[in-house]
Amino acid sequence: MDEELFKTAPKEVTRYFEAKALVPSFDWRDIAPEEHAFSFTVAKSVGYDILDDFKRAVGEAIKHQVPFQEFQKNLMPILQEKGWWGKKTSIDPKTGEKSVVQLGSPRRLETVYWANTMSAHAAGEWERTQNNKEFLPYLTYALSSSEHKRLEHESWVGFTAPVDDPVWDWLYPPNGWRCKCSVRQVSRYEADNLGYEEGAELLHVEKQVWHNKRTGKVEKIPKGIDPGWHLNPGKHRAQNLSRFLSDKVSVMEDNDKRIAIEDIVGSPLLEAMFEGRMPRGFIPIAPIPQKVGDVFAAENSLIRLSSDSVKHILLEHQARSLHLDDFRGAIQTLIRPHGVIRRKGVPSVVFLGENDGVWWRLAVKFVASKQEWWLTSMHKKSSREIGRLLDAAEKKSERLL
């Protein structure tokens, strides 16, 4: 691995890795590629207290440009002391079968080091790409610095497409173990000089079938890209994290759901949306009260906040400069509302409440066709205005809570 790669570790790189949750696994195929974008795992780690040690060591390697030899020297004694080294008989939790497996080894450490540092670097580059796409709206595939270049990867050199083209869902490097391919972000002028033609035929790549024997899932992966490396880690982190969190939270018991949502709202995720670093994501921010859900015959019981709504709300409040703490405070009123009003003639409700002495009016829309609730606006109000809204709703029989 190039030791120059992380001479300086930008915040976009470290942030991606630090936000990963620990997920023990027996086999690398147990964790889907899209989940690797927000999960840190080490194969054969089930039953061993080693994930914190691994994550700490990899995090330091990314942040402080620690070369592999030093990473191995620091981590190996800890793993050996905890018994996670060499070959041992282990039970596969999925099949119940006993087998001799390789735990720690220099090669295993190199795999963990390379995969995580390269994924973090790719995700950080993708975030910067998104931030710069207004004046550099294209990406072009660049020649690998590897001594032994893969034929398929060489054939992609010079391919140019807009930053937001779906091709970068799978073509964004690295595209395999030890792949050193890269992309360059370029202007429209340079893209034209490179031969880019708007509306031209898309890059055609033959697909090969990959059967994940651990999960039973069958996927078609572009030829030349290794399984597990066929998704853009930065792009899929935002998209799949949103769906993953909502799916996990929606099946929790009410009290656990409330605690989980408060953790999510207090986590760096809302901050990322607020700062524009999660351009296409959403997060669950509050449970819908049972009575409100019943009125709309809603099956889904979670209110979501999208990145688009955050942008809209910030623009709406530009003159009054809305802060991140305002968002968090307003969301608390969704979780513990003073009252909820049904809006006449439209599929939406208004939540009214107070947090830290500030009163809020929040509009939540229900999309019946998708069974989804979305926060669409928030406004500060005086306690007197809130009282008037509630009194008027009572008289019209529109107050639900």
> Tens digits of per-residue pLDDT, 28-41?
333 444 444 444 44
* Total residues found in the chain within this entry: 401
Instruction: Identify whether residues 183 and 312 lie together within a single domain.
Output: no
Asked, for residue 223, whether it belongs to a domain, the answer is no
Distance CA 247, CA 301 (A): 11
Instruction: Identify whether residues 260 and 388 lie together within a single domain.
Output: yes
Q: Could you read off the pLDDT of 249-280 as tens digits, one per residue?
A: 676 677 767 777 777 777 777 887 888 777 66
Please compute Rg for the chain using Cα positions: 24
Estimate the crossing angle of helix 106-132 against helix 68-81, to 10 degrees.
130
- Look at 147 and 68; give whichever has higher pLDDT: 68
Distance CA 183, CA 397 (A): 59
| Pair of tokens at residue 317 | 């409040």
Q: Which helix (H) or strand (E) holds 286?
A: strand 282-287
Statement: the pTM of the whole predicted model exceeds 0.75: no
Instruction: Identify whether residues 113 and 197 lie together within a single domain.
Output: no
Domain interval for residue 316? 252-395
Secondary-structure breakdown of the chain: helix, strand, coil percentages, each rounded to the nearest 5: 40, 20, 40
Asked, for residue 313, whether it belongs to a domain, the answer is yes
Asked, for residue 149, whether it belongs to a domain, the answer is yes
Instruction: Mark which of 172, 205, 238 sits at the end of a domain.
Output: 205
Instruction: Identify whether residues 137 and 124 lie together within a single domain.
Output: no
Instruction: Identify whether residues 96 and 1 lie together within a single domain.
Output: yes
Instruction: Identify whether residues 286 and 374 lie together within a single domain.
Output: yes
Give the strands of the sheet with 138-142, arranged side by side: 160-162, 138-142, 182-186
Q: Could you read off the pLDDT of 67-123 as tens digits, one per residue?
A: 999 999 998 998 888 887 878 776 665 666 777 767 778 888 888 888 878 877 787
Q: What is the dihedral of CA 323, 326, 327, 331, to 10 degrees?
A: 180
Q: What is the DSSP letter of 161?
A: E
User: Is the pLDDT at 355 greater than 50, yes or no?
Assistant: yes
- Look at 208 and 245; give whichever has higher pLDDT: 208
Q: What is the DSSP letter of 338?
A: S
Instruction: Identify whether residues 193 and 275 lie together within a single domain.
Output: no
Q: Which of 126, 47, 63 is nearest to 55 (CA)?
A: 63
Is the distance from CB of 89 to CB of 98 less than 8 angstroms? yes
- Look at 275 and 192; give whichever has higher pLDDT: 192
Asked, for residue 213, whether it belongs to a domain, the answer is no
Asked, for residue 276, whether it belongs to a domain, the answer is yes
Instruction: Mark which of 89, 109, 129 sits at the end of a domain.
Output: 129
Q: What is the pLDDT of residue 383?
A: 94
User: Is the pLDDT at 58 greater than 80, yes or no?
Assistant: yes
> How many domains does one find in the chain?
3
Instruction: Identify whether residues 274 and 391 lie together within a single domain.
Output: yes
Q: What is the pLDDT of residue 19?
A: 52
Q: What is the pLDDT of residue 241?
A: 57
Asked, for residue 224, whether it belongs to a domain, the answer is no
Q: Mean pLDDT: which of 9-18, 104-113, 249-258, 382-391 is highest?
A: 382-391
Is the distance from CB of 249 to CB of 302 less than 8 angstroms? yes
Instruction: Identify whether residues 275 and 390 lie together within a single domain.
Output: yes
Q: Could you read off the pLDDT of 314-337 as tens digits, one per residue?
A: 887 765 678 888 889 999 999 889
* Percent of the chain surpassing pLDDT 70: 78
Distance CA 180, CA 193 (A): 25
The residue to which tokens 């998708």 are assigned? 370
Q: What is the pLDDT of residue 18?
A: 54
Which region holds residue 105: left if phi is over 0, alpha if psi is between -120 and 50, else beta? Answer: beta
Half-sphere exposure of 156 (CA within 13 A, CB side): 31
Residue 49's alpha-carbon distances to 45, 70, 89, in angstroms, are 8, 22, 17
Instruction: Identify whether residues 108 and 145 lie together within a single domain.
Output: no
Instruction: Mark which of 104, 129, 154 sits at the end of a domain.
Output: 129
Question: Stretch 137-146: mean pLDDT, rounded?
Answer: 90
Q: What is the pLDDT of residue 244?
A: 55
| 291-298 CB contacts, 8 Å cutoff, 24+ apart | 291/400, 291/401, 292/340, 292/349, 292/400, 292/401, 295/342, 295/400, 296/347, 296/366, 296/368, 298/366, 298/368, 298/371, 298/373
Is the distance from CB of 208 to CB of 220 less than 8 angstroms? yes
Give the number of other Cβ atoms within 10 Å of residue 150's Cβ: 17
Instruction: Identify whether residues 123 and 139 lie together within a single domain.
Output: no
Instruction: Identify whether residues 311 and 184 lie together within a single domain.
Output: no
Strand ranges, E, within 2-78? 21-22, 39-40
> What φ, ψ does residue 350 adopt, rounded to 5°?
-120, 125
Asked, for residue 121, whether it belongs to a domain, the answer is yes
